[in-house]
Amino acid sequence: MALVRSFDQSSSSLNIEGRGVYLRYPQLSDYEDWATLREESRAFLTPWEPIWPADDLSRTAFRRRIKRYARDIKEDVAYPFFTFRASDNALVGGATISNVRRGVALACSLGYWSGEKYANLGLTSAAVKALFPFVFDTLKLHRIESACLPNNKPSQGLLRKVGYTEEGLARKYLKINGEWQDHLLFALIKGDPVS
């Protein structure tokens, strides 16, 4: 493990609560709900994400995904979460802390998605805000970075709403939907006011 910590970060009982939502690490038993939601939301999500491999929604690929997640958590590389609506425990989306950089950076990236039928209900912004104490106090990082396409108005709205500051435009920053695309970079620094 890359870091000595005062708690077990791989714990399957880790439960992060936000307004109307909670987040926890993905489990094999989430497969049906996750795959159904991703399939129903395919047209809604794919313009904003890396290309989905042909077998992405298969049970086998999900098993591989869970294994990778466990390794990433153990190695302090990434912390993937699924988001659940508190009122009915529905799996509504996800948020992933990735690209954890220690040393002099103490920074990470944060990405998120919502199932189409759960969008614009305030659930993703609640999930993202709920992760801030985890990032700053538990992981002891200093900076969270998120990037979005300049035409992704919902994502920009979310980032501004929860307290991020726009820092600039990065050229051909990520390969999204099969193309290297410019991205707006946003960041939240420990101590920044959050909504």
Smallest distance from ligand COA to CB 46, Å: 9
Beta bridge partners, 186, equal 146, 166
Smallest distance from ligand COA to CB 143, Å: 17
**Nearest to ligand COA of 71, 153 (CB atom):** 153
Smallest distance from ligand COA to CB 74, Å: 26
Smallest distance from ligand COA to CB 109, Å: 10
DSSP 97: E
**What DSSP letter does each residue of 33-49 carry, written as one string?**
HHHHHHHHTHHHHGGGS
**Cα distances (Å, whole numbers) of residue 156 to 3, 43, 79, 114, 146:** 33, 19, 22, 14, 10
Integer Cα distance of 166 and 66 in angstroms: 33
Give the binding site for ligand COA (CB under 6 A): 44-45, 48, 112-114, 119-125, 148, 152-155, 157-158, 161
**Nearest to ligand COA of 123, 139 (CB atom):** 123
**Nearest to ligand COA of 44, 134 (CB atom):** 44
Give the distance, in angstroms, between the CA of residue 144 and the centroid of all CA atoms in the same chain: 11
Task: Indicate the residue whose CB is closest to ligand COA.
Answer: 157
